[in-house]
């Protein structure tokens, strides 16, 4: 269950010299801006697919929600909690209280996994863009010196202190929620709520999580939020109210939302996304671009209104001195999903959808994986039995690797080493025969007798064809590597992660094993593969790998 609170004590942001009310109050008391804002809040602050969110608004604001999934309640001091809300909340483990001043977008699966593990009764969650995936994070020593940089490919979280102000989201266990109430109402003061936690010896916790956040008390935040809200509307053209008067030689370009009793004079251009409130009069020759016009506003003739929020009669109207073509820049930003797609296009190499790399390579991978698993199905039980009988531990070994666009997955292999081999690696690092973050040594004491045979014949990698079927790997591609190795090659990792890692690849068949050159060759051949990816190259690598497999297998006897 989700409770959205519009706090009336938020500090006002002076957008104009004469402004006395806060910006969020202006938005929620002006139609049709209020519909866009409330609908957007119900989307981004409503947790769960079913049920209705409840929005608490100050009584003196006189706000009525016309959003189907958003029920409103009014308050004067503390926020009332109706019995129906408590009854529905008990069906869930956590109740979510969101601060309507901040519109956020976060990975709900990430926060749900965190709530399962966390040992706390009340969790204050704030959204931090610096913890978003696809970002560089500085690594410091204990003395505060720079040790390096870490690339975060997935959104992350970190512990944080619990401040005295309302967080972006507050997660409360439903079993203790009634203990936080004062006379059946939720305290409007967050300090009072924390005092209630201490009096009942409840465990509060603060968490920062990666995501995007917009402050709706700031002009930029409100405009971006409204622009995104208009883009969510499926209709490409908005119905014009019968009470509106629009001159025949005026132009409405893009998505423009009009209130009631709107007059748009001749030779006027309105470029979306733009919202114009009720009872607005736009005189002749005006250009409005990506702006919000409040109710009861009269826009003088020959005025340019660009990327602005007009709350009331303005005295600093800017005359139109530029052409329309030079005034069409929009400041609205896309939502989180669009932002991630844009980052993928900028950071990683991309191919056309209907190309070998973009489509047909995946089809070929699935076919090859099915054929290999069917062919080796009779001997897989014998390999599993031999592995289990010769050394203690599981049959399969799972290791976290980074795949396409840095997404982590469990890379499967038949286990070839003794239990605790990863802990022994640091002690043996000084005898490693390769440079870089990798580790290799002849007569490795961690490898079992059966494991050595599996490694020499490459039979230990048969389970990786399951990864291929799951879409986590490819038959041919760069070497799958963990995050610890990718951290040490920042200039090449995005190129390598532009494609799925492969069971075999250019590096595996072309490396020379020359002293102190293995790491360099790994990076060189992997990036060369991504640069020249083609069906011809994949077939050549597959053929060379097949020949090498037969040679190694015959040499064992």
Give the CATH number, domain containing residue 44.
3.90.550
Number of domains in the chain: 3
**pLDDT at residue 346, as a whole number:** 57
Indicate if 204 and 248 belong to the same structural domain: no
In a domain, 547, yes or no: yes
Indicate if 439 and 507 belong to the same structural domain: yes
Indicate if 361 and 264 belong to the same structural domain: no
In a domain, 223, yes or no: no
Least confident of 152-161, 267-276, 315-324: 315-324
| Long-range CB pairs of 129-133, under 8 A, 24+ apart, other chains included | 129/210, 129/211, 129/212, 129/213, 130/210, 131/155, 131/156, 131/157, 131/158, 131/208, 131/209, 131/210, 131/211, 132/210, 132/211, 132/212, 133/210, 133/340, 133/406
Indicate if 373 and 456 belong to the same structural domain: yes
Give the CATH number, domain containing residue 315.
2.160.10.10
User: Model confidence over 125-150: pLDDT tens digits?
Assistant: 999 988 887 776 676 777 777 776 66
Confidence of residue 311 (pLDDT cuts 50, 70, 90): confident
**pLDDT at residue 442, as a whole number:** 64
Indicate if 298 and 269 belong to the same structural domain: yes
In a domain, 59, yes or no: yes
Indicate if 251 and 177 belong to the same structural domain: no
Indicate if 136 and 18 belong to the same structural domain: yes
pLDDT at 51 over 60: no
Which residue would you say has higher pLDDT here, 206 or 486?
A: 206
**CA-CA distance, 159 to 511, in Å (whole number)?**
44
Indicate if 171 and 104 belong to the same structural domain: yes
Indicate if 422 and 472 belong to the same structural domain: yes
Provide the domain limits for residue 287. Answer: 236-327
Q: What's the whole-number mean pLDDT along residues 469-493?
A: 82
pTM, two decimal places: 0.65
Least confident of 235-249, 275-289, 368-382, 391-405: 235-249
Least confident of 288-292, 334-338, 537-541: 334-338
pLDDT at 54 over 90: no
In a domain, 333, yes or no: no
Indicate if 264 and 176 belong to the same structural domain: no
User: Model confidence over 418-472: pLDDT tens digits?
Assistant: 776 665 555 555 455 455 556 566 666 677 878 888 888 888 899 999 999 999 9
Indicate if 11 and 124 belong to the same structural domain: yes
**pLDDT at residue 325, as a whole number:** 44
**pLDDT at residue 237, as a whole number:** 41
Helix (H, G, I), strand (E, B) or coil at 19: coil
**CA-CA distance, 101 to 6, in Å (whole number)?**
7
Indicate if 426 and 517 belong to the same structural domain: yes
Q: What's the whole-number mean pLDDT along residues 357-362?
A: 90
In a domain, 18, yes or no: yes
Buried b (16+ CB within 10 A) or exposed e, 201-223: ebebbbbbbbbbbbbbbebebbb
In a domain, 511, yes or no: yes
Which residue would you say has higher pLDDT here, 431 or 170?
A: 170
Q: What's the whole-number mean pLDDT along residues 280-284?
A: 90
Domain boundary among 156, 183, 217: 217
In a domain, 226, yes or no: no
Mean pLDDT of the chain: 80
Task: Specify whether the backbone of 192 is left (phi greater than 0), alpha (psi in -120 to 50) or beta.
Answer: alpha
In a domain, 225, yes or no: no
């Amino acid at each position: 269950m989700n409770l959205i609170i519009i706090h009336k004590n938020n500090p006002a942001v002076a957008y104009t010299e004469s402004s006395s009310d806060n910006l969020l109050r202006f938005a929620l008391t002006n139609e049709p801006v209020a519909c866009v804002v409330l609908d957007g809040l119900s989307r981004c602050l409503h947790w769960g697919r079913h049920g209705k969110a409840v929005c608490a608004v100050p009584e003196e604001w006189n706000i009525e929600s016309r959003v189907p999934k958003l029920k409103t309640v009014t308050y004067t001091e503390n926020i009332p909690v109706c019995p129906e809300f408590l009854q529905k909340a008990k069906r869930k483990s956590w109740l979510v209280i969101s601060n309507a001043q901040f519109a956020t977008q976060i990975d709900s699966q990430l926060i749900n996994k965190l709530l399962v593990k966390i040992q706390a009764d009340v969790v204050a969650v704030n959204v931090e863009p610096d913890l978003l995936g696809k970002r560089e994070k500085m690594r410091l020593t204990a003395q505060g010196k720079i040790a390096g940089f870490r690339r975060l490919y997935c959104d992350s979280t970190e512990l944080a202190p619990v401040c005295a102000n309302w967080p972006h989201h507050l997660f409360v266990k439903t079993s203790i929620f009634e203990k936080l109430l004062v006379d059946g109402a939720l305290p409007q003061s967050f300090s009072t709520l924390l005092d209630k936690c201490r009096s009942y010896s409840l465990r509060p916790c603060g968490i920062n999580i990666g995501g995007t956040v917009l402050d709706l008390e700031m002009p930029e935040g409100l405009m971006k939020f409204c622009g995104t809200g208009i883009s969510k509307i499926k209709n490409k053209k908005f119905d014009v109210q019968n009470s509106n008067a629009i001159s025949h030689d005026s132009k409405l370009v893009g998505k423009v939302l009009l209130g009631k009793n709107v007059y748009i004079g001749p030779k006027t251009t309105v470029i979306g996304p733009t919202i114009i409130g009720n009872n607005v009069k736009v005189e002749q020759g005006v250009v409005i671009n990506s702006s919000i016009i409040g109710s009861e506003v009269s826009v003088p003739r020959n005025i340019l209104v660009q990327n602005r929020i007009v709350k009331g009669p303005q005295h600093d109207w800017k005359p139109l001195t530029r052409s329309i073509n030079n005034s069409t820049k929009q400041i609205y930003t896309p939502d989180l999903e669009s932002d991630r797609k844009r980052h993928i296009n900028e950071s990683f190499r991309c191919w056309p959808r209907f190309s070998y790399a973009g489509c047909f390579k995946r089809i070929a991978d699935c076919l090859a994986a099915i054929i290999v698993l069917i062919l080796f199905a009779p001997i897989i039980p014998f390999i599993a039995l031999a592995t289990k009988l010769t050394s203690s531990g599981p049959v399969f070994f799972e290791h976290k690797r980074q795949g396409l666009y840095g997404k982590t997955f469990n890379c499967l292999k038949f286990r070839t080493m003794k239990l605790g081999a990863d802990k022994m690696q640091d002690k043996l690092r000084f005898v490693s025969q390769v440079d870089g973050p990798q580790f290799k040594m002849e007569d490795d004491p961690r490898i079992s007798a059966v494991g050595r045979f599996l490694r020499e014949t490459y039979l230990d990698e048969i389970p990786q064809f399951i990864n291929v079927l799951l879409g986590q790997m490819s038959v041919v591609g760069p070497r799958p590597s963990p995050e610890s190795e990718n951290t040490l090659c920042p200039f090449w990792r995005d190129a390598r992660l532009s494609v799925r890692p492969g069971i075999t690849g250019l590096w595996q068949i072309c490396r020379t094993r020359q002293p102190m050159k293995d790491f360099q060759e790994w990076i060189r051949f992997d990036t060369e593969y991504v640069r020249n990816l083609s069906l011809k190259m994949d077939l050549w690598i597959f053929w060379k790998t097949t020949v090498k497999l037969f040679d190694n297998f015959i040499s064992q006897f």
